[in-house]
A and B are shown apart, each in its own frame.
Chain A
Amino acid sequence: MIRLLARRLAFALLVMWVVATGVFALYFVAPNNVARTIAGRQATEQTVELVRRRLGLDQPIPVQYVRFLGRLARGDLGYSFVNSQPVSEVIRRDLPVTASLALGAAIIWLAIGIGAGSLAATRPGSAADRVVTGASLFFYSMPTFLLGQIFLLLLFYRLTVAGYPIFPPSGYVPLTEDPAQWARHLILPWLTLALVTAATYARLTRGAMLDVLGEDYIRTARAKGISEGRITYRHALRSAIAPVITQFGIDVGILLGGAVVTEQVFGLPGLGREAVQAITTEDLPVIMGIALLASLFVVVASIVVDLCYALVDPRVRVR
Chain B
Amino acid sequence: MAEPTVAARAIEGRGPWRLVYERLRRDPAAVVSALTIVAIVLIALAAPLIASAVGHTPSTQYRDIGLSPAGIPVGPNGTFWFGTDSLGRDVFIRVVYGTRISLLAGVVSSVLAVLVGVVIGLAAGYFGGVVDTVLSRIMDVVLSLPFLVFAIALVSVAGPSLTISIGVIAFFSWASVGRIVRGQTLSLKETEYVEAARSLGAGDLRIMFVEILPNVLAPVIVYATLLIPGAIVFEATLSFLGLGVIPPTPTWGNMLSDSIAFYRVAWWFVVFPGAALLVTTLAFNLLGDSVRDAVNPHRGVGRESK
Contact = CB atoms under 8 A, between A and B. Distances in A.
A22 B106 CA distance: 26
A98 to B, nearest CB: 11
A281 to B, nearest CB: 10
Nearest to B267: A153
A143 interface: yes
A290 interface: yes
Nearest to B302: A124
A140 interface: yes
A254 B259 CA distance: 27
Kindly name the residue among A18, A23, A250 whose own CB sees the greatest number of chain B CB atoms within 10 A: A18
B211 to A, nearest CB: 30
Which of A29, A140, A157 lies at the interface centre, i.e. has the most chain B CB atoms within 10 A of its CB?
Answer: A140
B149 A290 contact: yes
Contacts of B259: 149
Given A294-B149, A298-B145, A261 B157 contact: no
Interface string B269-306: 01000100110011011100100000000001111100
Of residues A143, A254, A257, A276, which shows the largest number of chain B Cβ atoms within 10 Å of its Cβ? A143
Interface string A172-190: 0000000000000000000
A145 interface: yes
Contacts of A291: 146, 149-150, 152-153
Contacts of B304: 124, 210, 213-214
Majority SS of interface residues in chain A?
helix
- Which interface class (under 10, 10 to 19, 20 to 34, 35 or more) fits B? 35 or more
B278 A145 contact: no
A258 B241 CA distance: 13
Given A138-B282, A141-B281, A287-B156, A272 B149 contact: yes
B241 A276 contact: yes
A260 interface: yes
B236 interface: yes
A221 interface: no
B242 interface: yes
A288 interface: yes
Contact of B141 (A14, A153, A272): A14
A128 interface: no
Given A146-B256, A210-B303, A282 B282 contact: no
Nearest to A169: B264
B285 A141 contact: yes
A11 B140 contact: yes
Chain B residues touching A, majority SS: helix
Contact of B277 (A143, A153, A272): A143
A250 B175 CA distance: 15
A265 interface: yes
A191 interface: no
B237 A258 contact: no
A31 B156 CA distance: 10
Contacts of B242: 276, 279-280
Interface in A210-231: 210-211, 213-214
Contacts of B236: 143, 145
Interface string B125-155: 0000000000001001100111111101111
A287 B229 contact: no
A26 B151 CA distance: 12
A311 interface: no
A235 to B, nearest CB: 13
Interface in A183-216: 207, 210-211, 213-214
Interface of B: 137, 140-141, 144-150, 152-159, 229, 233, 236-237, 240-243, 253, 256-257, 259-260, 263-264, 267, 270, 274, 277-278, 281-282, 284-286, 289, 300-304
**Which 4 A-B residue pairings sit nearest by Cβ, starting from the closest?**
A214-B303, A294-B146, A141-B281, A141-B282
8 contacts: A141-B278, A143-B240, A143-B281, A146-B277, A149-B270, A149-B274, A276-B243, A282-B156
Given A276-B241, A280-B242, A302-B144, 9 more contacts: A18-B141, A26-B154, A29-B158, A30-B157, A141-B282, A141-B284, A145-B237, A294-B146, A299-B144
